[in-house]
Amino acid sequence: MMQFKTILKNPAQWMLSSGPYGEIVISSRVRLARNLRDISFPGWAVEEDRIEVLNRVKPAVENLNEMSGAFSSDLSNLKAVNKQILVERHLISREQAAKAAGSAAIMNRKQTLCVMVNEEDHLRMQSIKAGLSLSDAYKMIDEVDTKLESTLDYAFDNQYGYLTACPTNLGTGMRASAMLHLPGLVLAEQINKVINAVNKIGLAVRGLYGEGTEALGNLFQISNQHTLGEQENEIIARLEKVIRQIIKHEENAREKLYIEKRTVLDDKIGRSYAILRYGHIISTKEALDLLSMLRAGVDLGYFSDDIRALIDVLFMEIQPAHLQFFADRKLGAEERDCLRAEIMCDRLKSLPEPSKFSSNKSNEQSSQED
Amino acid sequence: MNCDVCQENDATVYLTQIVKGKMQKVNLCEECAKQKGVTDPTGFALADALLGIGSDEKMDVSADSLECESCGFSHAEFKKTGRFGCSECYTVFGFGLESLVKAMHKGTLHLGKVPSRYQVTKKYNDQITELKDRLRIAIEDENFEEAARLRDEIKLAEADYITSNESEIE
């Protein structure tokens, strides 16, 4: 069994590798909701029923090949800060972090697969992959689901499909989402137009941590809203098509900025670099915005490609719970802001100044202009 | 599926009617059907007559006090939280749910993955849905010969299903 510390020492596999369209799509996630047939849903179940669910589901999940050497814990055994770390890594939801008896999380070593027990539904399983890889992520979680259905008796209805606590998840019980980094559309002030258009066609746009959260660091999650009335692969194909269009728009917005507002861009990236290198007090929000500009700088050729993974890891490590774990004690807000600045300064100390003219990308783009 | 009126016996009489463009389904057990005098279901709003559901309302007010036998969850609770108590609640509070689901989703019929232990059920469900659709059209077209043939086919499919059912689940 993996220790909690091991999780922390190693970033998730998807953060270190670059997937398709990795410049714009950070990760793809697919989540399935499932319930057992003969026990109340977690929100309504009494404690002994919740524990009964845990006793049935947990061994079934732990016995999967995919979960060999996994980290598995009842959430009541985890300290609040550790739960928060799992939230910051998108491994469990904010809702589950608050839940009581009978809740558990089981995740594989690579942190690409996580099963939550007794969240809103008895089982919430999800897979995470780097880049735009929704089909691969679905395939991975579908296999896990198929194995589990042979030992667990799922609640299923011919008309409504997989039965879930909330009717908004009926049918496939599937929520597929991609995390997009869209600094170009934000700077060009086109982002609201894109969000409105996406909402109109039955897809949802959310901030970094899901429903009701702010879009920090120019990061946006796009996901399907409907789960019933379409096959899984249709939902994914539609979502992926829309994401490809957004990627196109983001690329165009970046190119336009690069050509028409080059000085503004140079300035934003230069300032972000300077503050990250020499700042001493940096809040989470500011840090995410600065890192976002740094990442955009990598994409546009101001910095070398190989620091993209470092930036993605920093996106996670500078968040409050990760900082407290790093410091090994509870930190006040001011202490966190100082430590955050210190960590970023240290990690980025060998990063050369942004180069304005040397990269291939800039040559390519200016020649297009000619 | 339980009877919508007494919530106890298995429903054997399935009635479907289109009222003001909305489909209403009522499932009854034989006793309740007799009691309510359902012999000729045409010419009156079924759901109205049997359950007191106004055709324009999604759910009836009197349904609030209805409780799920399996888990004790009430319909009033559903209105409050938007969530159900257990999977059985979908049957207990099933009436009127379809219009709610329709507003949330792309459709009201699951087309995706089916757990392997339900494959036979799904196949049967699809087959019956199709046959009943054809039967409805045949009756509308007054093609009674075809209707009789389809009715027999449905009976046969049902009988087949019941025998296969025994081997399917556990």
- CB proximity B21 to A under 8 Å: no
Element (H, E) at A161: strand A161-162
Closest CB from B86, B112, B116 relative to A44: B86
DSSP A129-153: EESS-HHHHHHHHHHHHHHHHTTS-
CB-based contact A156 B115, cutoff 8 Å: yes
What's the length of chain B? 170
Q: Which residues of B touch A120 (CB under 8 A)?
A: 83
The whole-angstrom separation of Cα B90 and Cα A228 is: 15
Residues of chain A contacting B92 with CB distance shorter than 8 Å: none
Distance of CA B14 to the CA centre of its chain: 7
Give the minimum alpha-carbon distance from B46 to chain A in angstroms, rounded to a whole number: 22
Q: In this predicted structure, what is the pLDDT of residue B26? A: 75
CA A346 to chain centre: 25
* Strand A161-162 to A113-117 pairing: unpaired
Span A177-185, average pLDDT = 96
φ, ψ of residue A126 in degrees (nearest 5): -140, 150
CA-to-CA distance for B3 and A352, rounded, in angstroms?
A: 74
Nearest by CB to residue B86, choosing from A40, A154, A156, is A40
Mean residue pLDDT across chain A: 89
Give CA separation, A251 vs A185, A221, A266, A307, A364, in Å: 9, 18, 17, 20, 14
Residue A202 backbone dihedrals phi, psi, to 5 degrees: 80, 20
Q: What are phi and psi of B137, to 5 degrees?
A: -65, -40
B43 confidence band (pLDDT: 50, 70, 90): very low
Residue that is written with structure tokens 């939230």 in the block: A87
Chain A CB contacts of B73 under 8 Å are 40, 44
Quote the distance between the C-alpha of residue A19 and its chain's center.
14
Rounded mean pLDDT of A359-368? 45
Answer with the residue of higher pLDDT: B165 or B71.
Answer: B71
- Nearest to B164, CA basis, from B123, B105, B135, B128: B123
The helix/strand/coil state of A181 is strand
Across chain B, where does the E strand assignment appear?
Answer: 13-19, 22-28
- Is the complex ipTM more than 0.95? no
Among A189-193, A197-201, A287-291, B159-163, which stretch is predicted with the lowest mean pLDDT? B159-163
- Report yes or no: A276 and A345 within 8 Å, Cβ to Cβ: yes
Closest by Cα among A276, A254, A274 to A264: A254
What's the pLDDT at A11? 82
Q: What is the structure's pLDDT at B94?
A: 85
Q: Is a pLDDT exceeding 50 seen at residue A107?
A: yes
Instruction: Answer whether residue B37 shows pLDDT above 70.
Output: no
Greater model confidence, B38 or B57: B38
| Backbone angles phi and psi of A272, in degrees to 5 | -60, -45
- What are A273-278's contacts with CB under 8 Å, separation 24+? A273/A297, A273/A351, A273/A353, A273/A354, A276/A344, A276/A345, A276/A348, A277/A345, A277/A348, A277/A349, A277/A351, A278/A345
Whether pLDDT at A126 is above 60: yes
Q: Name residue B27's beta-bridge partners.
A: B14
Comparing CB atoms, the residue among B82, B113, B117 nearest residue A166 is B82
CA-based nearest residue to A352, from A298, A283, A284, A281: A298
**Chain A contact probe: residue of B92, B99, B104, B123 with most A CBs at under 10 A:** B104
DSSP bridge partners of A173: none
Mean pLDDT, residues A284-308: 94
Say yes or no to pLDDT of A347 above 80.
Answer: yes
Q: For residue A362, what pLDDT is reported?
A: 44
A&B contacts, CB < 8 Å: 115
Mean pLDDT over the full length of chain B: 76
Q: Which residue's entry shows tokens 């219009």? A: B99
Contact across the interface for B87 and A35, Cβ inside 8 Å: yes
Residue B23 clears pLDDT 70, i.e. is over it: no
Taking the C-alpha atoms of residue A254 and residue A190, their distance in angstroms, rounded to an integer, is: 11
Predicted confidence band of residue B10 (pLDDT cuts 50, 70, 90): confident
A118 vs A291: CA distance, rounded Å: 35
Task: Write out chain A residues lying below 8 Å of B121, CB-based.
Answer: 158
Residue of higher predicted confidence among A201 and B27: A201
Contact of A215 with chain B, judged by CB distance below 8 Å, is answered with no
Chain A CB contacts of B80 under 8 Å are none
Residue B45 is predicted with a pLDDT of 45
Q: What is the pLDDT of residue B165?
A: 55
**d(C-alpha A70, C-alpha A113), whole Å:** 10
Percent of chain B with pLDDT over 90: 22
Query: Please, what's the b/e burial string for A118-146 (b: 16 or more CB within 10 A of its CB; e: otherwise)?
Result: bbbbbbbbbbbbbbbbbbbbbebbbebbe
Taking 60 as the threshold, does the pLDDT of residue B41 lie above it? no
Q: Is the pLDDT of residue A165 over 80?
A: yes
Measured distance CA(B93)–CA(A368) in Å, rounded: 62
pLDDT tens-place string over residues A226-256: 999 999 999 999 999 999 999 999 999 999 9
Tokens 């559309």 correspond to A185
Residue with tokens 């061994």: A59
How large is the average pLDDT for residues A269-277? 96
Q: Is A120 on the interface with B (CB under 8 A)?
A: yes
What's the Cα-to-Cα distance from A139 to each of A93, A115, B71, B97, rounded to whole Å? 22, 15, 34, 31
Q: DSSP label at A351?
A: P
Closest-CA residue of A relative to B86 is A40
Residue of higher predicted confidence among A11 and A338: A338
pLDDT band at B5 (very low <50, low <70, confident <90, very high): confident
The answer on pLDDT for A8 being more than 90 is no
The rounded distance, in Å, linking the Cα atoms of A313 and A8 is: 11
**Span A172-177, mean pLDDT?**
97
State the Cα–Cα distance between residues B111 and B91, nearest whole angstrom.
19
DSSP H helices, A261-332, are 262-278, 284-299, 308-317, 320-327
- Among B95, B104, B8, smallest CA distance to B53 is for B95
Judge whether A96 and A119 are in contact, CB under 8 Å. Answer: yes
Two tokens at A58? 């947990």
Q: A14 pLDDT band (50/70/90 cuts)?
A: confident
pLDDT tops 50 at residue A282: yes
Confidence of residue B22 (pLDDT cuts 50, 70, 90): low
Span of B62-71, B103-112, B130-139 with lowest mean pLDDT: B62-71
Which residues 43-72 of chain B have a CB within 8 Å of chain A? 70-71
On the question of pLDDT at A28 being above 90, the answer is: yes
By C-alpha distance, the chain A residue nearest B94 is A160
